[in-house]
Chains A and B, each alone.
Chain A
Amino acid sequence: MSFAGKAALVTGSSRGIGAAIALAFARSGADVVVNHRTPGGSSAARAAGVADAVRALGRRAVVVPADIGERRSAEGLVAAAVDKLGRLDFLVLNAARAPFKPIERLLERELRQLVETNFLGNLFCLRAALPSLAEAGGSVVFVSSLGSRVTTPSYPLGSLKAAMEVVVRDCAASLQSRGVNLNAVCGGLVRTDAVKAMRQVWDRLDTVPDDAWVAPEEIAEVVLFLCSPAARAIRGQTVVVDRGLSSRLLS
Chain B
Amino acid sequence: MQNLITRQRVLSELTKALAETLRIDEQSIRPDSSITRDLGGESLDFLDVNYRMEQAFGIRMARHFFLEHIEEIFGEGAAIDGDGRLTAAAITLLQRRYGGTGMPDASGGLDMDEVPAFVTVQAVADVVTGILDTLPEKCRCGAAAWRSGDGTHITCGGCGEAAAFTDGDELIRQWLAAEAGDAGLKPV
Q: Does B45 contact A (CB under 8 A)?
A: yes
Q: A44: which B residues are within 8 A, CB to CB?
A: 40
A250 CB–B CB distance under 8 Å: no
Min CB gap A53→B, angstroms: 15
B114 interface residue (CB < 8 Å to A) = no
Which of A104-112, A128-136, A176-184 lies at the interface?
A104-112
A77 to B165, CA, bound (A): 47
**Complex-state Cα separation, A190 to B6, whole angstroms:** 37
Q: How far is the CB of A191 from chain B (nearest CB, A)?
A: 14
Q: Please, how many angstroms separate the alpha-carbon atoms of A51 and B76 in the complex?
A: 41
- B129 near A: Cβ within 8 Å? no
Judge if B68 is at the interface, Cβ distance under 8 Å.
yes
Provide the A39-78 mask, 1 if CB < 8 A to any CB of B, else 0: 0111111000000000000000000000000000000000
Q: Mark B58-69, 1 if CB is under 8 A from A, else 0.
A: 000001100010
- Interface check A200, CB cutoff 8 A: yes
Among A38, A107, A200, the residue within 8 A (CB) of B63 is: A200
Q: Does A101 contact B (CB under 8 A)?
A: yes
> Which residues on B sit within 8 Å (CB–CB) of A200?
47, 50-51, 63
* Distance (whole angstroms) from the CB of A107 to the closest CB of chain B: 5
Q: A108-B76, A200-B50 are in contact. Are A42 and B45 (CB under 8 A)?
A: yes
**Does A199 make an interface contact (CB < 8 A)?**
yes
Q: Which residue of B lies closest to A37 (CB)?
A: B42
Contact residue range for chain A?
Answer: 20 to 34
Please measure, in the bound complex, the distance between the C-alpha atom of A201 and the C-alpha atom of B64, giving whole angstroms. Answer: 11
Q: Which 9 residue pairs of A and B lie closest in terms of their CB atoms, listed nearest first?
A: A196-B47, A196-B48, A41-B40, A42-B40, A107-B76, A41-B42, A197-B47, A193-B44, A42-B42
Contacts of A105 in B (CB 8 A): 72
Q: Tell me whether chain A's interface is mostly helix, strand or loop, or mixed.
A: helix
Chain A residues contacting B23 (CB-CB under 8 Å) are: 42, 45
Among the interface residues B63, B80, B84, which one has the most CB atoms of the partner chain A within 10 A? B63
**A194 interface residue, CB < 8 Å from B?**
yes
B33 proximal to A (CB < 8 A): no
Q: Which of B47, B51, B71 contacts A107 (CB 8 A)?
A: B71
Known: A193-B48, A201-B63. 19 other contacts (CB 8 A): A41-B36, A41-B41, A41-B42, A42-B22, A43-B42, A44-B40, A45-B23, A100-B63, A101-B64, A107-B76, A108-B76, A109-B80, A193-B44, A196-B44, A196-B48, A196-B51, A197-B47, A199-B51, A200-B50
Chain B's closest residue to A46 (CB) is B23
Chain B residues near A38: list those with CB within 8 A: 42
- How far apart are B169's CB and chain A's nearest CB, in angstroms? 11
Chain A residue contacts of B68, Cβ below 8 A: 107
For the complex, give the distance between the alpha carbons of A38 and B41 in Å. Answer: 11
21 A-B contacts (beta carbon < 8 Å): A41-B40, A41-B42, A42-B22, A42-B23, A42-B40, A42-B41, A44-B40, A45-B23, A100-B63, A105-B72, A107-B71, A108-B76, A109-B84, A193-B48, A194-B44, A196-B44, A196-B47, A196-B48, A196-B51, A197-B47, A200-B51
